[in-house]
Amino acid sequence: MFVADIRIKLKKGVADPEGKNTAKALELLGFSEVAEVKTSKFFSIHLDTHDEAAAKAQVEKICLALLANPVINDYSYDIKKVA
Amino acid sequence: MKLEDIKVCILRIEGTNCETESYQAFERLGAKPEMVHLKQLTGQDVRESEKRSITDYQILMIPGGFSSGDYVRAGAIFAARMKTKLAAPMEEFIREGRAVLGVCNGFQVLVEMGFLPGIDGIMSPVPQAVLSTNDSSRFECRPTLLKYENNYNCIFTQKIKSGQVLLIPSAHAEGKLLFPHDRAEQIYRQLEDNDQIVFRYVDPNGEYAGYPWNPNGSPHNIAGICNPSGNVMGMMPHPERVFHRYTHPDWTRGFGSEIGDGRAIFESVLDHISKKF
């Protein structure tokens, strides 16, 4: 079994209204040192396979089929073997 | 073909809304709509008698809503599920000149499936656009004013006067139409050249304006687009919610008509299909 920790980020230059709003809220809460907030999505996916290469290929497919829209998203992931 | 023979597929999955208004809009104009669950088209977990084929219909409408809870991205799960089994039949459906309408979440689905803007062919293998989070980072729900800007390429708007401003309500959290950052302006120009821009958000004077008139911060105030052939249209506001004048927020002030601003979209597509097939 492998577990893939996948992070879906907004590409550079794409507006992040959620991040901006969070930054504003933090400022209102008195966190004056907060300069910028960026949001991203995190998915942890367990894959029932014993082959790391197959797991990696599967994760690539998953990212392109559903998790990321290449117009605004970049994706990255770590794959670890678990018992 | 006769109006009463035009079959309309109102496609739904978990989280679809306004399918009843959409159904009634087509039914009231004399066509034959049918509410169809996605599983009926893909043939998964349904009885034989419930199975349907997309080719049974001349018009496919994907209504609004929050399909699959809007998880991952709005419309992404609906689109991915459709893509696995229906990509080829839908491409054929569009190639034959049948009509596809996506409203709100339906627009998001058509964009995620690669049918809109459709500038490199009927369907692109990866999305060419996205309906991104509103600038306000909130769900924006209110009447919006749309200026009709198409030069009659789009089959859904033939009965709307050029430059006419329509009041059609918006209700979405992800409606900002974005294209790849490095090619965005080039794509906007291409959309204009191809006559693919259908509606833009305006203020009461008919001028392009920012928030709140543009509820989501969509660049160039775009509210709705069509594909280059004009038979696939996606728009964020909900025309089926203003089929009747009395569902306009200002109806008590009297405008001497019972016709709502959204009705022309349904009339236009039915008129086109009845002449074409």
- Please indicate if any CB of chain B lies within 8 Å of the CB of A39: no
The pLDDT assigned to B257 comes to 81
User: ipTM of this predicted complex?
Assistant: 0.88
Do A71 and B112 make contact, defined as CB atoms within 8 angstroms? Answer: no
CATH 3.30.1280.10 is right for the domain spanning A2-81: yes
For B202-218, how does the pLDDT look when each residue is reduced to its tens digit (9 = 90+)?
Answer: 999 999 999 999 999 99
Of B9, B18, B154, B238, which residue is the catalytic one? B238
Least confident of B125-129, B143-147, B252-256: B252-256
Question: Over 80: is that where the pLDDT of B256 sits?
Answer: no
Q: Distances from the Cα of B202 to the Cαs of A71, B72, B148, B175, in angstroms? A: 26, 31, 10, 15
The pLDDT assigned to A78 comes to 97
The pLDDT assigned to B255 comes to 65
CB–CB of B43/A28 below 8 Å?
no
User: What average pLDDT is seen over chain B?
Assistant: 96
Q: If chain A, 83 residues long, is cut into consecutive pieces of 10 residues, what is the mean pLDDT of each piece?
A: 97 94 95 96 96 96 96 97 89
- Please indicate if any CB of chain B lies within 8 Å of the CB of A67: yes
* Residue A36 Cα, gap to closest chain B Cα (Å): 16
For B92-103, how does the pLDDT look when each residue is reduced to its tens digit (9 = 90+)?
Answer: 999 999 999 999
For residue B192, indicate whether it is catalytic.
no
The total of other beta-carbon atoms located within 10 Å of residue B75's CB is 29
Question: Over 90: is that where the pLDDT of B151 sits?
Answer: yes
The pLDDT assigned to B253 comes to 81
Give me the domain span that covers residue B265. Answer: 3-276
For residue B238, indicate whether it is catalytic.
yes
The pLDDT assigned to B60 comes to 98
Nearest-CB residue to B137 (from A21, A64, A69): A21
Average pLDDT value for residue range B43-65? 96
Least confident of B27-31, B87-91, B171-175, B245-249: B245-249
d(CA B215, CA B209): 10
For residue B48, indicate whether it is catalytic.
no
The pLDDT assigned to B132 comes to 96
Domain count, chain B: 1
Best B70, B137, B139, B172 member to test A by mutation, with max A CBs in 10 Å, is: B137
Consecutive H or E run containing B145: strand B140-148
Q: What percent of chain B has pLDDT over 70?
A: 99
Which CATH number is B229's domain given?
A: 3.40.50.880
Do A71 and B178 make contact, defined as CB atoms within 8 angstroms? Answer: yes
The total of other beta-carbon atoms located within 10 Å of residue B28's CB is 13
